[in-house]
Amino acid sequence: MKVLRSISALRDYRKQLAGSVGLVLTMGFLHEGHLSLVRRSKAECEYTFVSIFVNPTQFGPDEDFGAYPRDTNRDLKLLENTGADAVFLPGAGEMYPPGADTVVVPGKTAHRLEGAARPGHFRGVATVVLKLFNLIQPQRAYFGQKDAQQAAVIRKMVADLDVPVEIAVMPTVREGDGLAMSSRNTYLNPAEREAATVLYRSLKLAEELINGGERDAEIVRQRMTELISAEPLAHIDYVSVADAGSLDELAFVIRPALVSLAVRIGRTRLIDNVTLT
């Protein structure tokens, strides 16, 4: 497995590859969700790249950039065991050299939900993802459904800017009790970890309501809110029942819907979602 820490080394290595390339973009501290994307890339592409970069431009001033979990040696061992061909591991100065000030400003898909709660977040995401696409030039890039809005923003960027990469979105990988795997789960103490299951339980409630015939989206939001609010350690950022394509909030669930939420468990902010038809 090649470990590439500079853009020049990456470009030299990339020139040697003649087959299809799959890319998994990560911020490190890998878990089974990330590794499932690596395995899918290996099954579908001749070469699999993984990027590990905690991107400072997608964190707000009061967010957890400094505390974000990092363990590069562990990550590299996991990736080697999973069969990744190359890992791009740049520093912030490599990705954002002095004087760099060009950014990607995504459109209205980025203004809702996470975009409204975290202003500037998707500008940072779109900018670094486009840079990595340009550098690695994958034929296919793999993302997890847990970050559904991120995938939607990137898919729109790729379409609008004619970037020749296919976006593949894989199902959310969950713990046995339903909690979506996330690097931030490591922040949770035992009581918070138990409380965090309320996210998935609320999504399952929405699924039961809608599959049972409930079409009033506000009733679904209210029932989810009631369930989450009954958990003392949980504090809601948002609960959404939105059009699965545009992410506009729905009044009635009469077309595919993305049911999503952001909830703080103690000081840890977690997101999750399900898509329902």
Give pLDDT tens digits for 28-44.
999 999 999 999 999 99
Name the pLDDT band for 62 (thresholds 50, 70, 90): confident
Domain count, the chain: 2
22 part of a folded domain: yes
List residues forming the annotated binding site for ATP.
Answer: 27-34, 144-147, 173, 181-184
Domain range for residue 224? 183-272
Mean pLDDT along residues 255-261: 97
Same domain, 140 and 29: yes
Name the pLDDT band for 85 (thresholds 50, 70, 90): very high
Provide the CATH number for the domain around residue 67: 3.40.50.620
Mean pLDDT along residues 10-34: 97
Classify residue 49 by its DSSP letter.
Answer: E
Same domain, 166 and 189: no
Mean pLDDT along residues 92-114: 96
193 part of a folded domain: yes
Mean pLDDT along residues 107-127: 96
Q: What is the DSSP string of 122-148?
A: HHHHHHHHHHHHHHH--SEEEEEGGGH
Same domain, 197 and 129: no
Mean pLDDT along residues 96-114: 96
Give pLDDT tens digits for 189-247.
999 999 999 999 999 999 999 999 999 999 999 999 999 999 999 999 999 999 999 99
Same domain, 152 and 193: no
| CA 181/CA 146 separation, integer angstroms | 9
232 part of a folded domain: yes
Local structure of 201: helix, strand or coil = helix
Q: Which pLDDT does position 9 carry in this prediction?
A: 98
Same domain, 211 and 163: no
Provide the CATH number for the domain around residue 222: 3.30.1300.10
175 part of a folded domain: no
Same domain, 134 and 219: no
**Is 135 within 8 Å of 34 (Cβ atoms)?**
no
Name the pLDDT band for 20 (thresholds 50, 70, 90): very high
11 part of a folded domain: yes
Q: What are phi and psi of 85, to 5 degrees?
A: -85, -35
Same domain, 23 and 118: yes
Mean pLDDT along residues 107-111: 94
List residues forming the annotated binding site for (R)-pantoate.
Answer: 58, 150
Q: Which pLDDT does position 190 carry in this prediction?
A: 98
Report the catalytic residues. 34
Q: Give residue for tokens 């003392």.
A: 232
Same domain, 15 and 124: yes
Domain boundary among 170, 200, 222: 170
pLDDT at residue 259 greater than cutoff 90: yes
Same domain, 158 and 187: no
Domain boundary among 141, 170, 199: 170
User: What mean pLDDT is reported for the chain?
Assistant: 97
Give pLDDT tens digits for 130-182.
999 999 999 999 999 999 999 999 999 999 999 999 999 999 999 999 999 99
List residues forming the annotated binding site for beta-alanine.
Answer: 58
Domain boundary among 114, 142, 170: 170
List residues forming the annotated binding site.
Answer: 27-34, 58, 144-147, 150, 173, 181-184
Tokens of 4: 């590439």
| CA 94/CA 243 separation, integer angstroms | 38
178 part of a folded domain: no
Mean pLDDT along residues 72-88: 98
